[in-house]
Structure 1
Amino acid sequence: MSVDFKTSETKENLMRAFAGESQARNRYTFAAEVAHRQKQKTVEELFTFTADQERAHAKVFYDLLQEFSGENIEISSAAYPINISENLEDLLNFAKHNEYEEANDVYLKFSQKAQEEGFQKVAYAFTEIAKVEQIHCDRFEKLAELLKSNQLYTATSPSVWICVNCGYIFEGTNAPLKCPVCMYEQGYFLPVDLISCKDFIKGKK
């Protein structure tokens, strides 16, 4: 079925997705500020890293609407989350939930509708970005679990930790409260295996 792009549901879905990604970028930037105030550098960097990727997703969807430049696109039946908290575990779980919905519901439906209406390039964008959102979901979940179990800076057996500010390496069951080289707080330490582990980078557990 071929549909005129100007009257298509896909046009509105792209605008919904652009609005959603733009808001997600801001939410993660705000969450990164919370982590920064709490001196949790690892959590801050994860939120900032993901916010940059959400900006990239927004740009993809925005560019696909190029032919409507100078116009307004009205969308209906759109709802967006408010996730305000000073609790980092809550913020990570909020993010996990939102990313899961995009990956496993919203973008898959948008992709299917784009295919039905004959917009294969748009369908591909929704499908591939949905895969990235699942990675985001898994990564947020992993870090939330580490915080909840108090394992981000503590291990049950001797482990290797790295200060992400200066690169100092420490071996022990607990990351130092302060880096003995640069004197940065414990929040700058990260288990070395999380840096080198492809599963963590990809978001898999």
Structure 2
Amino acid sequence: MENSKTLKNLMDAFAGESQANRKYLAFSKKAAAEGKNNAAKLFKAASDAETLHALKHFEVAGKIKDTATNLQAAVDGENYEAESMYPEFLEAAKEEGNKEAIRTFTFALKAEEVHAKLYQEALENMDEEEEVFYYLCPVCGNIEKARPDTCFICGAPGDKFIKY
């Protein structure tokens, strides 16, 4: 299927469905905040449906490999975002003076650096049997292996971190 029209279509569909998932999730949160619970539930259900579509497209495209290969792909993707993508985005935002974009790109860049290190560590310790917990900062996306007092990226209180 490599280089086929179907593979390109599956990957385009994966991208579109993935974006729709996040968009509808954002819409759901906004509707809930406005007290529009029925719309919030519909957007959340649609978000979950788009996730189902995206995951199936990705699977059929043959993009889900063994865990070691998937971890290496994650390391490579996070490094690309931290070293190439976000620095370029940040430069453009700075040139345009968009402070909110600068803030969100900075948070993401710093979090992606952490993600890459965590994926690399997981790859190197794949056969370790001791259970590891991860803590997600709900503000900037930083992930820690222990709940911090405050997020080193955005300053969010550690008690707001979500345990996985």
Greater Rg by CA? 1
Same fold (TM over 0.5): no
With normalisation by structure 2, the TM-score equals 0.44
Structure whose residues are more often helix by fraction: 2
Structure whose residues are more often strand by fraction: 1
Structure number with the bigger relative contact order (C-alpha 8 A, sep ≥ 6) is 1
